[in-house]
A and B are shown apart, each in its own frame.
Chain A
Amino acid sequence: MLYFVARRLVSALSVVLVTLIATFALFFVAPTDPAAAICGERNCTMERYNEIKANLHLDRPKVQQFAEYTAGIFVGRTFETSGVKQECTVPCLGFSFKSDRPVTEMLKTRLPVTVSLVAGYAVLVLTIGVFVGSMAAKRRGTLGDRALMSSTLIMSSVPYYIVALMISLYLTILYPILPRGSYTPISENPGKWFAGLITPWLVIGIYNCTQYARYSRGSMVETLSEDYIRTARAKGLSDRSVTYKHALRSGLIPVITIFGLDIAASLSGAIFTERIFDLPGLGNLVLQSLETYDLPVIMGTVLIASVVLVAMNFLVDVMYSLIDPRVRLS
């Protein structure tokens, strides 16, 4: 078990490191000149341009810049702009070109929004999606099962953003049945937090529940035909214990595998959702900073997204080993 955890940690760290290098490379490959961008177009003198460049350490060798950036994450950095010293505290990800605010601070306010969104998504697909799928598997071949499966097929053939836009338009604006999307930190007011997120959750959750219902149905149909399910029935267990104690535990394994792969996709799904419901999350932030070539912010977001991804995958692995004793050994 210890070995298992240690190995996962090493591979997680290497993923983050690779992302770090890749984003940094992006910084230079990008067809933009940050110093020119900051300097502005009208009253930018060569002098000022060079000064900005020096302040941002853009005149130093690239490897050194990378080392400074990385070191900043762990020990912090100090920048000097026009004689004014700016402390960038640990973990330092630099300053936004546009707003001059520390990237770390910006991410700190944005991250909880996205995490709330994705967490709600995970809860919805793994409960409702799996439950609906299991029910369909148990009643496979019946009218209800077929209706459900064809409706999921229809759902999944409509692009997500159309569903999201329609719901947003019809249910929150034209016929305001659902509250419009907004974000209040959970620490401030849990009720408001919930109310503001319920519509985005429902949209992203229900849309993807149909997918998860399909996966779990497939997996449960297979599990229910296993010999050990017959054994469980032969013991005299009720239909309910057979389905939810014996079949579901095995049936969940492939669903969790898919969930692990799906997390990256759900993060990008969050970009749409945040945009459509106007939530101040990472997705929105990255879109804004892309428009303005705000490279430190882009880098910071990509980095934090990769950390979230790695953490979630680790979580999936732990879930795996909790469900399947055979995984624990290797």
Chain B
Amino acid sequence: MSTPAPEDRKDTMVGTAAGEPAPDAAAKRGPSIATREKRQGTLNPSGETPYLVVEDLTVKFPTADGVVSAVNGLSYSVPLGRTLAIVGESGSGKSVSSMAVMGLHDRKRTKITGSIRLGGDEIVGLPENELMKVRGDAVAMVFQDPQSSLHPLYTVGNQITEAYRVHHKVSKDVAKKRALEMLDLVGIPNPIRRFKQYPHEFSGGMRQRAMIAMGLVNDPKLVIADEPTTALDVTVQAQILDLLNNLQKEFGSAIVLITHDLGVVAEMADDVLVMYAGRCVEYGTAEDVLARPRMPYTWGLLESIPTVSAANERLQPIKGLPPSLLSLPSGCSFNPRCPYKERVKGERCTTELPELLPVDGAGAHTSRCHLHDKASIYEAEVAPRLG
């Protein structure tokens, strides 16, 4: 991101700044909402006051071959009651960025800069014992594979009550009552019997329901769902997506949905953020991004998907491979695979990283592309191929 950082905000390195908790520092660090919303990238497509604000987030970690910039200047925000889908392929940084929001990255190795605010409170740079209070309470996570994400040696009930008692000083009985309530809420029949069972006695769909029950037991304000249905069958996936949608209506929490499946995005998301090679390349409401996309990578994704309703036309894959995060191409990261770069004058695509700019000069739909006539190219060339 090229937006200038406010003078009073220090870039904080997690792990080294552990001695400096300062909850009030968050207030100092973050600019006021009014100024923040004017800045590009942070602008929330819905215009509501956001609960989660991520600004200029950068995540780096060293590997044997060099330092990997997994996330590079990512900014987004999600208000309560809304769902933001972060879409991208493997290695795009979508999971890494949300792990940082949960503080679940490897603190010794990972270097995080930028700002992540929950309801106004900065969490980048918080020491582990402060972060622990946030995790599972205000922010909950639902993981991809419920088979491996539930502890195989503890009963489902035990795991849910544990999640509740970490953040609530209550007796086991109270916690149990709460857990049974949650099991019922997520549609697990016969909660009393199920409470005492182990994960291996549950089916895949039931396990994911239990996982969701565990995530929501503390009534979190933000739920991060990392590929929540990828490991499930189609008919069960539909059930789980419905459940998440209904629970959001009931709990009013903000959801960050991480997925590679644009079909799931269409069913779930209010807003969509497309990531490529660690950067946001397009951001807007779901309708904007899926029906009026303004970035060749998003077009490529849409053209690659064989849908159930499409006829047997030849798929239009994006040629080539995603770049290595160790050596990103100069200019736009997507340029080696982009079929439209010849249309930009002066080889800007290979020399200059495009900024994330509003597609129509103003407004919340932004994309990172030098092309001038994105709208007309999409309507004239891409849309017809999509049918």
A324 to B166, CA, bound (A): 24
B348: Cβ under 8 A from any A Cβ: no
Interface residue A227 (Cβ < 8 Å from any Cβ of B): yes
For residue B166, which residues in chain A have a CB less than 8 angstroms away from its CB? 235-237
CB of A89 within 8 Å of the partner chain:
no
User: Which residues of A226-252 are within 8 A (CB) of B?
Assistant: 226-228, 230-239, 246, 249-250
Minimal Cβ-Cβ distance residue in B for A252: B153
* B315-348 interface code vs A (CB 8 A; 1 in, 0 out): 0000000000000000000000000000000000
CB distance from A231 to the nearest CB of B (A): 5
- Of the candidates A227, A233, A234, A323, which one forms a contact with B148 in the assembled complex, judged by CB atoms under 8 Å apart? A227
Which of B134, B140, B153 contacts A324, CB < 8 Å? B153
Q: Which residue of A lies closest to B145 (CB)?
A: A227
The CA-CA distance from A228 to B141 in the complex, in Å, is 12
Q: Which residues of B contact A228 (CB under 8 A)?
A: 148-152
Which residue from chain A places its CB closest to the CB of B133 in the assembled complex? A236
Assess whether A326 is interfacial by the CB under 8 Å rule. Answer: yes
**Chain A residue at smallest Cβ distance from B217:** A235
In contact, A230 and B167 (Cβ under 8 angstroms): no
A226 to B152, CA, bound (A): 11
> B151–A234 contact, CB under 8 A?
no
Expressed in whole angstroms, the Cα–Cα distance for A236 and B220 within the complex equals 12
A323 to B214, CA, bound (A): 23
Does A325 have its Cβ within 8 Å of any Cβ on chain B? yes
- Minimum CB distance partner of A247 in chain B: B151
Q: Does B27 contact A (CB under 8 A)?
A: no
Q: Contacts A227-B143, A227-B145, A325-B198 given; indicate if A236 touches B152 (C-beta within 8 A).
A: no
Residue of B134, B154, B211 most packed against chain A (CB within 10 A): B154
Chain A CB within 8 A of B200 CB: yes
A280-326 residues with Cβ-Cβ distance < 8 A to B are: 323-326
* Sample of 11 further A-B pairs with CB below 8 A, known A233-B135, A236-B163, A325-B200: A227-B148, A230-B143, A231-B141, A235-B135, A237-B136, A239-B128, A246-B154, A249-B153, A323-B153, A325-B198, A326-B198
Complex contacts, B134 vs chain A, CB 8 Å? 236
Most-contacted residue by chain B among A236, A237, A249 (CB, 10 A): A236
Checking B104, B129, B133 against A230 with a beta-carbon cut-off of 8 angstroms, the contacting residue is: B104
B102 at interface, CB cutoff 8 A? yes
CB contacts (< 8 Å) of A246 on chain B: these are 151, 154
Does residue B56 face the partner (Cβ distance < 8 Å to A)?
no
Q: What residues on A are CB-neighbors of B136 within 8 Å?
A: 234-237
Interface size class of A (residues with CB under 8 A): 20 to 34
Alpha-carbon gap, A325 to B154, bound state (A):
8
| Complex CA–CA separation, A238 to B104 (angstroms) | 12
Structural contact, A231 and B135, CB atoms closer than 8 A: no
Contact B104 A235 (CB under 8 A): no
Provide the residues of chain A in CB contact with B128, threshold 8 Å: 239
> What residues of chain A lie closer than 8 Å to B152, measured between beta carbons?
228, 250, 324-326
- How far does the alpha carbon of A97 sit from the alpha carbon of B152 in the complex, in Å? 56
B244 contacts partner chain A, Cβ-Cβ < 8 Å: no
CB-based contact A235/B163 at 8 Å: yes
Contact A236 B135 (CB under 8 A): yes
Smallest Cβ-Cβ distance to A229: which chain B residue: B151
A231 touches B151 (CB 8 A): yes
Nearest chain B residue, comparing its CB with the CB of A326: B200
* Closest chain A CB from B131 CB (angstroms): 8
- B55 contacts the other chain (CB 8 A): no
Query: For the complex, is B241 an interface residue (Cβ under 8 Å from A)?
Result: no
Q: How far is the CB of A296 from chain B (nearest CB, A)?
A: 47
Contacts A234-B135, A234-B141, A326-B200: A227 and B153 contacting too (C-beta < 8 A)? no
Cβ-defined partner of A233 (8 Å) among B104, B145, B150, B151? B104
Chain B neighbourhood of A239, CB < 8 A: 128
Tell me the complex Cα distance, A233–B133, Å.
11
Ranked 10 nearest A-B pairs via Cβ: A236-B136, A227-B148, A235-B136, A236-B135, A228-B151, A234-B141, A227-B149, A235-B163, A231-B149, A325-B198
The yes or no answer to B261 lying at the interface (CB within 8 A) is no
Contacts of A232 in B (CB 8 A): 151
CA distance A246 to B150 in the complex (A): 11
Could you tell me the distance in whole angstroms from the C-beta of A163 to the nearest C-beta in chain B? 35
Q: Cβ of B162 < 8 Å from any Cβ of A?
A: yes
Least distance between A288 CB and chain B CB atoms (Å): 47
